[in-house]
Amino acid sequence: MQGVHLRKYGVEATLPIELFEVDGVDFRVDAVHASGDTVLTKDEAAEANTSNSFTDEGNGYSIVLTATEMQAARIVIYVIDQTATKVWLDTTIVIETYGNASAQHALDLDDAVRGGMTALPNADADAAGGIPLSTAGSLEMDTLADWINGGRLDLLLDAIPTTAMRGTDSAALASVLGTPAGASVSADIAATKADTAAILTDTADMQPKLGAPVADISTDIAAVKSDTAATLADTADMQPKLGTPAADISADIAAVKTDTDAILIDTSTTLPDIMDDLAIKKNTAFSNFEFLMVLTSDGRTPATGLTVTGQRSIDGGAFVSVGGAIAEVSNGIYQFDALAVDTNGDVITWRFSEATADDTFVTFKTVQ
């Protein structure tokens, strides 16, 4: 058995094959593929011949699986010499797929931006269409473009009638003013004035930061407005794409940031976390671990119909019986469902044995 290979779900893949002489010492370098020499099973379903033969690569061989053959979570290839006198040792190739909801691992390792998690924007953070960043607690200015000249605030201001109103006791004026929040409109105006004074006090450091104008403030503002209008003209398609906010732009951005933080916490998208998900974790159950048993009589023929016994050695300790169950799959392949006690160490060795078969040993390092 050559270990587990990771390949993308539903995408044509090339797999390496190692073939040994029947004595198990040297590579077999002159093997020739014949019908039935390579069969595969998808998700423990019925076996079928592979679409392609293996190809001689010198000291080893390779085989190409079609996109259809790659549509499974787990794929096992059996390379078995069909001639009467075998010229190589039988071997298996185990493949786990990724990058699809039906794959063994749904995360897409080929997606460098979001790992195939479609709930995240498909763009770098702070780039167009990406997650907005916060600088010193405030959203960067590019996220506020919708509020400047030609944006939502400017459109609201432009919508205010500029025609002088006739009289102050008309029904139209009353409907526009509405019911005062306080005792009267005068009281509301006084409260607003007090709030405005407090704002001016809080922003008293604004004037020094503005610096000396190039000409005068009005001229500088007019120049900025002209430049801003040109920028907005170049991005005239922005507004339709933004759509109507659920509440207002600031609230929507805050909601998106909250949801994004929750997604990042829930999915832990860093590469070390992804790799940990692919490994066997310490003191954690691990199901469907497959291994090959061969007959002691010739050391190469897959042993079927065995009652396999499993033992574990943890961190160099003595071998004791495993807690998990062992069951036969087919063609000498057996499946072990390890319990947490079977992985409760940093370095684990599993031993699988039966009186008529060679022992199979598997040693691995766990992750936290």
| pLDDT tens digit sequence for 289-339 | 999 999 999 999 999 999 999 999 999 999 999 999 999 999 999 999 999
Structure tokens, 76: 């096992």
Q: Residue 239 pLDDT more than 80?
A: no
User: Which domains, ranges and CATH numbers included, belong to the chain?
Assistant: 1-117 (2.60.40), 279-368 (2.60.40.10)
User: What pLDDT is stored for residue 114 in this prediction?
Assistant: 79
User: What pLDDT is stored for residue 113 in this prediction?
Assistant: 82
Please give the DSSP secondary-structure letter assigned to residue 104: S
User: What pLDDT is stored for residue 135 in this prediction?
Assistant: 59
CA-wise closest residue to 39 among 278, 302, 359? 302
Q: How far apart are CA 227 and CA 214, in angstroms?
A: 15
Q: What is the pTM assigned to this prediction?
A: 0.36
CA angle 40, 60, 4 (to 5 degrees): 45
DSSP 194-261: HHHHHHHHHTTTHHHHH---SS-HHHHHHHHHHHHHHHHHHTTTHHHHH---SS-HHHHHHHHHHHHH
198 phi and psi angles, rounded to 5 deg: -65, -40
DSSP 311-345: EEEETT---EE-SSEEEEEETTEEEEEE-GGGG-S
Query: Between residues 193 and 174, which one has the greater pLDDT?
Result: 193
User: What pLDDT is stored for residue 215 in this prediction?
Assistant: 77
Least confident of 48-52, 102-106, 168-172: 168-172
HSE toward the beta carbon, residue 192, CA cutoff 13 A = 9
Beta strand spans in 24-179 (E): 38-42, 48-49, 55-56, 61-65, 74-79, 91-98, 134-135, 138-139
Q: Residue 347 pLDDT more than 90?
A: yes
Structure tokens, 147: 């509020």
